[in-house]
Amino acid sequence: MINWLTESEALHYSEPLQKRFGMADDWLGEHRLLRFGSRRIYMANRHLQLPEFQDDTEIEGIGISLLRVHSQAVPKPTFEGSAYLLQHASKNVLALTTEEAELARSATPFSLADERAESLERGFILMHLHGVSFGCATFKDATVTSYFPKRYSHYNAMPLT
């Protein structure tokens, strides 16, 4: 069952994300939020119009997964949702070094020196290496704990130069 969120339902999720990562008001662009089965919020092109299928057609999915529904004040972006947010975010973004990227990939916590830690607020942050998203992490007490998914953790076929 596809449930497009009403404007106020959508704000409940989009506003805290927008504040946290400093996106412009129109960061959702041509997208709308929806719920589809699981405890996730999806994002799909707002012009998508579903026909009323009269036959036995099954809808497998729609749009992309953006965040997980839970009780925290700022919803947790999914790994794939983080890549979209990164394209629009202006704060709480961490540019990783190659060594940190390796630690993030294996979900090993690492600490940041003062000057880099000062630019981040406690809570969720987005990470990237030369623009390539590494998903989100929690930042607390100058330590970064990455949520890099296990399904991708073997991704690094070659050493980086």
Q: What is the binding site for other proteins (CB under 8 A)?
A: 30-31, 43-45, 47-65, 78, 80, 83-84, 87, 101, 128-134, 152, 154-158, 160-161
Read off φ and ψ for residue 94, nearest 5 degrees.
-115, 120
CB closer to other proteins, 54 vs 71: 54
Read off φ and ψ for residue 103, nearest 5 degrees.
-70, -40
Q: How far apart are the first and last CA of the chain?
A: 47
Shortest reach from residue 24's CB to other proteins, in Å: 17
Nearest CA to 42 out of 16, 81, 87, 9 is that of 81
Shortest reach from residue 91's CB to other proteins, in Å: 20
CB closer to other proteins, 24 vs 132: 132
Shortest reach from residue 40's CB to other proteins, in Å: 10
Sort strands 93-95 and 123-129 into parallel, antiparallel or unpaired.
parallel
In the DSSP assignment, the letter for residue 92 is S
CB closer to other proteins, 96 vs 120: 96
CB closer to other proteins, 65 vs 138: 65
Residue tagged 């506003």 (tokens): 15
Inter-residue contact 24 to 88 (CB < 8 Å)? yes
Shortest reach from residue 57's CB to other proteins, in Å: 4
CB closer to other proteins, 52 vs 115: 52
